[in-house]
Amino acid sequence: MSNSLYYGEIVAKISYHLYQNPDHKANISHLMSKESDTEDSIWTLCADAARVFDAIEDLSDEHFIDWHAALDHFADEILNHLLLEKVPHIIDLVSMACRSIENTM
């Protein structure tokens, strides 16, 4: 089994993680609807987060990193950020992805 992940798997994992708890789903949906200066949805956020994580995975090409564990940590960080009523920007996602990878080393 390969240790690397595909973009679609990353999107699915993040979106599942954000929406597995019904209370979180309501809070996140409410937060995203309050963002009046953007038309981004939670699905856009999941796609952007997956793009960031996938790019960092491709750039690192490290076989000793447990990418599945790093992705779990990354999804947790995104969820925690959203539960603090903050929608993460791309730079936040880059920082979260790097911390998540570091956390698994």
Give the span between the Cα atoms of 71 and 33, in whole angstroms. 26
36: confidence class by pLDDT, cuts 50, 70, 90: low
Which of 23-32, 34-43, 92-101 has the lowest average pLDDT? 34-43
pTM of structure = 0.86
What is the percent of the chain where pLDDT is above 70? 89
Q: Which two tokens stand for residue 71?
A: 């992705």
pLDDT digits (tens, 9 = 90+) for 50-95: 999 999 988 887 678 899 999 999 999 999 999 998 999 999 999 9
CB atoms within 10 A of CB 84: 8
Q: Provide the pLDDT for residue 39.
A: 59
Residue environment code for 20-37, b if the CB has 16+ CB neighbours within 10 A, otherwise e: eeeeeeeebeebbeeeee
Q: Provide the pLDDT for residue 37.
A: 57
Report which of residues 9 and 1 the model is more confident about. 9
Q: Which of 40, 38, 42, 35 is nearest to 18 (CA)?
A: 42
> DSSP string of 26-51?
HHHHHHHHH-TT----HHHHHHHHHH
